[in-house]
Structures are given as structure tokens and as C-alpha cells.
Structure 1
């Protein structure tokens, strides 16, 4: 007789903030135990986050993972144990040049952060930027000019807003170079994608770089059918990932659009959303 626990899926792909990780920036207790149970049953856990290497690594190590991680909202897939980059996209030189010009027109209270070479670069430091860096556990590297960054090596840009209402204002300005966060038409010269990853975060990603696209690439490379994948998230940047997976789960207190698109809605983040998903795929 085979007494090994049964699984309905081979992979669980989980977002970090607001999904696996609570407001205290720690993995919610039940989630950690549940994912270990899933791994003990032969399942694989994949992290999919807007964070970069420096910021995601502590969670990756806490979970004891060996699988590649989907980082920068899908712009990179990285083996964090070795540092090997398995899949990458960068903003085009033309898009980056346009963004630099538009940075001068950003509304007051909106601050850009550019990711290149594994670092987060800023022109100035503000309370909002320091709060963001503390939350993500990263350092901010100040540059005198955006021209100091390699023009074809910017992975993504984040706009940190001092209040949620500024996100729409920033998005309207950046639609000249990127499609809107809700599928709004792109402006002339568009070659990037905008996503809201938190109520005060707007991200500019390379065209076609999404968590869902990265999941498709990684699953195909590893020979894992998408119908054997469960994915869970809470914010609009998780939408195409949960739609790509065979089973898409939304966190109970997540964004309404994510809950509406998901196959199932699980517990709130603080109540162990990921643990609830594990219980559903390991009857």
C-alpha cells in the first residue's frame, strides 16, 4: 500500500507580499508548515514576486527552496542558489530614454526607482523611498544622473507614490510609453507594460514581461503541464499568473479583480491563504 500523501498539482506558485507574507514581512506561520507538507509529498514550490534577488532571497532560504524564482514581476527567472539567470527581459533603450524624460514630469510625491545590475537606483532619498526599501529589505543606491545606468540593462522601474491616488496620475503620464495597468491602449512608441503591485506602487516592466509569461517559460523548460500548476496571488500583477495556471487562487482579502478572475478564493492573508490552498490540493 502507498501511504504517501496525494497531490492534485505538481507545483504551487506563490506571490510573496500579501499572499505568503503578512504585514509584518514574515511568512504567515500556517503557510510555512503547509508548504513543507506539500514539498514532503513530492510537490515543488515556486516563488513569483515583484521583488528582486536581494529582497526575495531571505524568503527563498526560509522555505528551503531549490527551484528557480520568478522575480521582477516576470522580467527574470533566477536560480537563487547559484545566481544563474535562466530567463530575462530588460526595458528597451528607447523606452528607458523616454522614461527618463518623463521622470521630470512626474507629479509631486512620486519617486522613481530603477533596477539594474541587481541593485535599486534612485536620484534622491525620501521618506516614501526609505519606507519602501525597509519593507523590501534592500539598499538604495543613489546616482547623480540616470545616464549612469547602462541604457539597455534596466530590468524594471518602480514609481513609489506617497498616496494611492497618485498612481493613476503617474499611469496617465506613462501611457505614452507603456500599455495601461488595466489594459488601456498604449501610446505612441509603447514598448513596456504598467502594473499595479501595491496600492502605492506602479511598475514599468519590459513589454511582455509578466508573472504568467515567466511561468509558461519555466513550466515548459521543466516539462510541467500547466494544468498541474496551482498559482496564488492578491494584486493585479498576479492576474495573468493565476489565469495561466491550471488552478488559480485569489487571497480572500486581495484585490477584487483578482478574486473575480480566480478559480477559487481562499483565506485572507493573515489567516493562512497559502495553507488553505495546500489543503485544497492535498485532500
Structure 2
């Protein structure tokens, strides 16, 4: 593991209890899987009393297979921070929506740019994902396959009826077109974030993974120093910079690496989270983990 800054000594009296990881590009490999050795290592970590969860831009249905695989019982950050989900209760702890003015702004901007730019617009309402286009494009189908979700077509008029109940909007397309759209959106302004090179997301005002992490920490009655967070892309930037132990995987965006306290030598393809777990456990009281009875 490579470190930009000195790692706090094991004698610092700041044991870390929680790991919060991004999914795509961080916990998941390019096959959209968590390697078996990493699944087993996370299981040993939680059996020793550690807490593991993730923060993702994905919907609940797209995140659920990994919640089940890792037997996550801690709150999960979804929709890039717009929702926090409790797997035990089977309910959302927090929910935020885009204001209707912002939704209609983006719809109008998209319609004006539709012929000039190769973009698709998706609207996220409750647990559904709807395409602004009458026919699903190949890039939308690819996204649908990657995330394991169903995306439906809907008329602009029908989608407009959900304007006050939209969790997020997503644009898919060539990076250059997304950059142009994001630059135009900044004049309004809208809360946009690049979650992948071909994805641009519009989130509720003031919402990101960092604000959701802060809300989760308050809900748990924990402290920032109880957490290590890991990510790779620009939607992880604020979260990684918000805690003492923010980690960037080797394949991370350079901007994210610059914000992280620690830069890992391994990429998501090489199970970089193994090094994070080792580091977190090294901060625990010597010779044992946390008691399984501790909250």
C-alpha cells in the first residue's frame, strides 16, 4: 500500500471501526463482481466486529445483490447520497429529491441539445428508471445490463408529472458531450457530478456522498475518525476528503488521489480493499478485534 501521508501510528488511540466503500471501480472489478477472496475477507472483518458498508450511485435494486452477498446490516448510501437505506428495517432512513424547477431545466436543456449531442437522459423516480427517449439506445441498454436494472421508456409529458419526486437525473454519452452539458448546467446552477467517464448525474441541491456520510455518522452516534472511506471517481471526492482516513484505489481519478490521505498500490482489479481492511485492523487493540457484543 502506498501512502501520500504518514499513516497514524497504531498507538494513536484512534481505532477505526467502519469501512465505507464505493462500488463501481472500487469494490467491484471490471466484471461487476467482488472476487471470492475479498468476500471472505470482508466476512472475517465483520465477524471480528468491524462494520462494512458502501456508498454508491446505484439504486436499491442495483445494489441489493451486493447487500445480500456481503450480508450488509449497516446503513447503505444510495443514489450518490440522495438516500440512505437500512437493510435490516428494509426502509429508507433519509430521502432527498430534486426540486421541480431543476428537473424541468435539465429536461429543457436536454431537448435543446438532443440533436447536437449524443446523450441519453434517465429519470429516477421511486424505484423506477425512465428514459426520455422513445426507444432505448445501445448505451442505455449497456448501462441497464451493467447495473442489472430495468429501464423503461416514457414520454416527456409523463415524466414531467414526476418533477417533484425525482431522486436524480442521469445523462449517458460521450465524455466531451457530458462536459459541455455540465458546463452549461453550471450557469443555472445545478448540482452535477461525474460518476464515471460516460455518466453525468444531477443530484438534489447540497447532496453528495459526503453529506450522506455525515448524516449516517450522526444517525449511528459515531465520530468521523471511526470511519475509513474508499473510492475512485469524482462522485467520491467530497466523501474521501471529509475524513482522516480517505483512501483512493490505484485506478482512481487523479483529482481523487490528490484529495485522499492514502493512495493504494492495488486497483479494483486486484482487490484493493484487502489493503484497507488490513490497515483498519492494524488500528485495533493489539491481539484482538472488537467484541461481537459491542454496538
TM over 0.5: yes
> How far 1:123 moved relative to its partner?
2.5
Could you say what secondary structure the match of 2:94 adopts? strand
Extract unaligned runs of 5+ from structure 2: 1-13, 283-295
Aligned partners of 2:202 and 2:39: how far apart in 1?
Answer: 31
Residues 163-190 of structure 1: CA deviation (Å, up to 9, x unaligned) = 2222211212222333xxxxxxxxxxxx
The answer (yes or no) to whether the contact 1:57–1:80 under 8 Å persists in 2 is no
Q: Which has the larger radius of gyration?
A: 2
Aligned partners of 2:15 and 2:262: how far apart in 1?
Answer: 15
Instruction: Give the counterpart of 2:230 among 199, 212, 232.
Output: 232
The answer (yes or no) to whether the contact 1:77–1:86 under 8 Å persists in 2 is yes
Aligned partners of 1:205 and 1:105: how far apart in 2?
Answer: 21
Aligned partners of 1:252 and 1:261: how far apart in 2?
Answer: 13
Q: Does 2:131 align with 1:119?
A: no
Correspondence for 1:256? 254
Could you say what secondary structure the match of 2:112 adopts? coil
Normalised by the size of structure 1, how large is the TM-score?
A: 0.89
Change in Cα spacing, 1:273 to 1:165, as seen in structure 2 (3 Å) is same
The answer (yes or no) to whether the contact 1:233–1:249 under 8 Å persists in 2 is yes
> How far 1:108 moved relative to its partner?
2.4
Aligned partners of 2:278 and 2:47: how far apart in 1?
Answer: 14
Aligned partners of 1:49 and 1:197: how far apart in 2?
Answer: 9
> How far 1:81 moved relative to its partner?
4.3
Extract unaligned runs of 5+ from structure 1: 1-6, 179-191
The answer (yes or no) to whether the contact 2:123–2:132 under 8 Å persists in 1 is no
> How far 1:243 moved relative to its partner?
1.3
Where relative contact order (Cα < 8 A, 6+ residues apart) is larger, the structure is 2
Aligned partners of 1:177 and 1:85: how far apart in 2?
Answer: 30
Root-mean-square deviation over aligned CA pairs = 1.6
Runs of 4+ residues deviating >3 angstroms: 80-83, 146-149
Q: How does 1:1-283 map to 2 (within 5 A)?
A: 8-106=15-113, 107-124=116-133, 125-148=136-159, 149-161=161-173, 163-178=174-189, 192-266=190-264, 267-283=266-282
Normalised by the size of structure 2, how large is the TM-score?
A: 0.86
Aligned partners of 1:210 and 1:61: how far apart in 2?
Answer: 24
